[in-house]
Amino acid sequence: MKTYDFIIRNIGSKVYITGTGDLAINSSLRKFIFNKTVFTLLKLTKGGMAVLCDEKGKEYLVPPKNVREVGN
């Protein structure tokens, strides 16, 4: 399955962020990556970024390759 298909099929699902591709260097996302914080996948932007929402309603933009679905 391509990344685009994964994102489109999982809108509204619970996801977490991985540090693949040096995303963990980003200090604002590092704590979420290492703690495997659960987000809700909202949408895919025209620019190709995934929009994630935390439990407080704050939105974050991350590359789709760094989004993984939370297991059962």
Sheet holding 50-53, edge to edge: 59-62, 50-53, 39-44, 14-17, 67-69
**What's residue 72's pLDDT?**
57
Looking at per-residue pLDDT, the higher value among 23 and 61 belongs to: 61
- Rounded distance, CA 8 to CA 13, Å? 10
pTM score of the predicted model? 0.88
* Region 3-69: CATH code: 2.30.30.140
Sign of the Cα pseudo-torsion (37, 41, 43, 48, in order) = positive
**What's residue 71's pLDDT?**
78
